[in-house]
Amino acid sequence: MAVAITGASGAIYAMRTVAALLERNCHLELIVTEFGRRLLRDELGEAVTMERLIDHLAEKYGEGVRAGTYTLHSNKDLGAKIASGSQNCEAMVVVPCSMKTLAGIAHGLSRTLVERAADVMLKERRPLIVVPRETPMSLPQLRNMVLCAEAGAVVLPAMPAFYQLPQTLDDLADFMAGKILSSMGFSHQMYPRWGS
């Protein structure tokens, strides 16, 4: 599984998604853009660095996250394995997805590892989930979401629901991460189902 964290608001969605995948014994190919790192700092505090990611996730979500493993890639490393279609990456999620990265994916620019790895998922017809966050949205941004959907991506906007009566921010993050996991083909009980 590949997980890209870019500089759109919603660091908690990324952390919950990474934790949930690690709990499921996954190996993650992780890419954090420059603004993704800044976002983690701005929204989660200086103590949450990529260097102590697993410790942070274990403190917040429990020791189960140590079941998984990850490789952290530079966004500049276009030679990483996930930049090639011959690498069998099963699914990729960009969470949260900035409007800049959304545009790059929509137009197949492949300038960075995030854009290239996403492009590979589309060309190989493998699952790509993009989790855009912006409001309000311009016409180019709306069109870029349509382009991604037309190319085969699942466009899963960071729009948590309230029908499950969330009590905390973590409840909202669970909802978004649960939606992402469902799109990646995992069953889970991260939030109460509608009507249950």
Ligand X SMILES: Cc1cc2nc3c(=O)[nH]c(=O)nc-3n(C[C@H](O)[C@H](O)[C@H](O)COP(=O)(O)O)c2cc1C
What distance, in Å, lies between the first and last C-alpha atoms of the chain?
A: 30
Count of residues binding ligand X (CB under 6 A)? 16
Could you give the CA distance from residue 8 to residue 5 in angstroms, rounded to a whole number? Answer: 8
Regarding 101 and contact with ligand X (CB under 6 A), the answer is yes
CB of 76 to ligand X, least distance (A): 11
Regarding 9 and contact with ligand X (CB under 6 A), the answer is yes
Among 100, 107, 126, 188, binds ligand X (CB under 6 A): 100
If one counts every other C-beta atom within 10 angstroms of the C-beta of residue 52, the result is 12
Map tokens 């490393």 to a residue.
77
Contact stretch for ligand X (CB under 6 A) within 1-9, 19-27, 80-88, 173-181: 1-9
Q: Which C-beta is closer to ligand X: that of 17 or that of 98? A: 98
Q: Footprint of ligand X on residues 128-167 (CB under 6 A)? A: 133-134
Regarding 35 and contact with ligand X (CB under 6 A), the answer is yes
The residues binding ligand X (CB under 6 A) are 6-9, 33, 35-36, 38-39, 42, 98-101, 133-134
